[in-house]
């Protein structure tokens, strides 16, 4: 299944910050058990690459890399097993390196100019980030009018309640967020709590 199809199917992208790669397997278990076998592991900690490798080896979740800012990080992420690459903004260098590796790039865009720059690089699935402070669901709807071919994954400042506003839009494949995988809960090893949060979030966005 393609990554856009996978995102459309699950409707949620958990944005994960792992401080310790040993949490990767129990977190993968929690996501899979909660019914959300996908994760975006952010390059915000030194544990990111090993965490991606462990989650990819786990086999129960499709793993992507997040907060990818450079082409070198694309190499590291893909080498570790990332199947998709998410960036907060649009970088032609990151998108081109993703294409060379044959992995899906999900760059960020919140303006018409950024969307046009991404389209010029052949990318039509975009992260709308930071969603909450960039106009929210009405802004995504407005951008969708001229860019009917673009799919969005709004992320940033979304929770289980506001997710529904975005998911009601045909242009929205999925929403991303960290609310179901709180960094503090991962640090504390509270994986049963994370499983419950994931389960509740999956139920909240069920079609
Ligand atoms: C991201 O990198 O996508 C965001 O940090 C996630 O945003 P959130 O923590 O507000 O959900």
Segment 156-174, tens digit of pLDDT: 999 999 999 999 999 999 9
φ, ψ of residue 28 to 5 degrees: the values are -60, -40
Q: Which residues sit opposite 99 in a β-bridge? A: none
**Is residue 114 flagged as an active site residue?**
no
Pairing status of strand 38-42 against strand 151-154: unpaired
Model confidence at 206, pLDDT cuts 50, 70, 90, reads confident
Which residue's alpha carbon is nearest to atom 11 within ligand 1? 177
Tokens of 142: 């407005």
Q: Ligand 1 within 6 A of 64 CB?
A: no
Q: Ligand 1 within 6 A of 92 CB?
A: no
Catalytic residue among 25, 40, 50, 100: 40
Length of the chain: 207
Segment 137-158, tens digit of pLDDT: 999 999 999 999 999 999 999 9
Q: Is the per-residue pLDDT at 207 higher than 80?
A: no
Q: Ligand 1 within 6 A of 15 CB?
A: yes
Q: Ligand 1 within 6 A of 154 CB?
A: no
Segment 76-108, tens digit of pLDDT: 999 999 999 999 999 999 999 999 999 999 999
- CATH code, 3-198: 3.20.20.70
Residue listed under structure tokens 């570790």: 80
Are the C-beta atoms of 109 and 115 separated by less than 8 Å? yes
Model confidence at 34, pLDDT cuts 50, 70, 90, reads very high
Among 15, 127, 128, 174, the mutation site with the greatest number of ligand 1 atoms within 8 A of its Cβ is: 15
Q: What is the mean pLDDT of the chain?
A: 97
* DSSP secondary structure code for residue 168 in this structure: T
Question: In Å, what is the CA distance from 103 to each residue of 18, 58, 93, 108, 127?
Answer: 22, 19, 14, 16, 15
Secondary structure (3-state) at 125: strand
- In DSSP notation, 21-35 reads GGGHHHHHHHHHHTT
- The Cβ-side half-sphere exposure at 132, using a 13 Å CA radius, reads 9
Element (H, E) at 166: helix 163-167
Nearest atom in ligand 1 to the alpha carbon of residue 44 is 2
Report ipTM for this prediction.
0.92
Q: What percent of the chain has pLDDT over 70?
A: 100
Q: Ligand 1 within 6 A of 157 CB?
A: yes
For residue 105, what pLDDT is reported?
Answer: 98
> How far apart are alpha carbons 8 and 131 in whole angstroms?
18
pTM of the model: 0.96
Q: Ligand 1 within 6 A of 132 CB?
A: no
14 Cα to the center of ligand 1, angstroms: 9
Secondary structure (3-state) at 90: coil
**What are the respective helix, strand and coil percentages of the chain, to the nearest 5?**
45, 15, 40
42 Cα to the center of ligand 1, angstroms: 10
For residue 196, what pLDDT is reported?
Answer: 98
Catalytic residue among 100, 127, 190, 203: 127
Segment 35-72, tens digit of pLDDT: 999 999 999 999 999 999 999 999 999 999 999 999 99
């Amino acid at each position: 299944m393609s990554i856009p199809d996978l995102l459309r199917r699950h409707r949620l992208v958990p944005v994960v910050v792992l401080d310790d790669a040993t949490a990767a397997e129990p977190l993968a278990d929690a996501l899979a058990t909660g019914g959300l076998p996908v994760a975006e592991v952010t390059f915000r900690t030194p544990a990111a690459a090993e965490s991606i490798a462990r989650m990819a080896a786990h086999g129960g979740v499709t793993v992507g890399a997040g907060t990818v800012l450079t082409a070198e990080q694309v190499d590291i992420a893909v080498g570790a097993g990332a199947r998709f690459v998410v960036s907060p903004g649009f970088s032609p260098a990151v998108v081109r390196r993703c294409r060379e590796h044959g992995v899906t790039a999900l760059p960020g865009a919140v303006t018409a100019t950024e969307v046009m720059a991404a389209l010029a690089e052949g990318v039509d699935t975009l992260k709308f980030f930071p969603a909450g402070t960039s106009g929210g669901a009405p802004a995504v709807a407005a951008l969708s009018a001229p860019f009917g071919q673009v799919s969005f994954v709004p992320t940033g400042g979304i929770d289980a309640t506001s997710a529904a506003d975005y998911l009601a839009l045909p242009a929205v494949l999925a929403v991303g967020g960290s609310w179901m995988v709180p960094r503090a809960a991962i640090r504390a090893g509270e994986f049963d709590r994370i499983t419950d949060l994931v389960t509740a979030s999956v139920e909240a966005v069920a079609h």
